Amino acid sequence: MSVVTTYAVEGMTCGGCANRVRSALTTGIPGVDVIEVDPKAGRVQLSSAAPVSEEAVQAAVEKSGYRFAGILS
């Protein structure tokens, strides 16, 4: 069973932004299976086999140059 969590990320405006965030999350967080990034809505959705720490997501997002704004769902 997968764990799906949606996070708010501020500052993304285009596909290039989405790619930077996606790349940071895939290289920075082991065990993440699916990452959907919607730059216009400012959302990132992660799917993983086990829960991912909010701190790990925040670190990866901020490393990519964007502002982590918390968990949406």
Check residue 72 and report its DSSP letter: -
What's the pTM?
A: 0.92
pLDDT (0 to 100) of residue 31: 87
As for how many domains the chain has, the answer is 1
Residue 37 CB-density burial (10 A; 0-12 exposed, 13-18 middle, 19+ buried): buried
CATH number at residue 26: 3.30.70.100
- Which residues form the domain of 54? 3-71
Residue 1 has pLDDT above 80, yes or no: no
Interval 43-63 mean pLDDT: 95
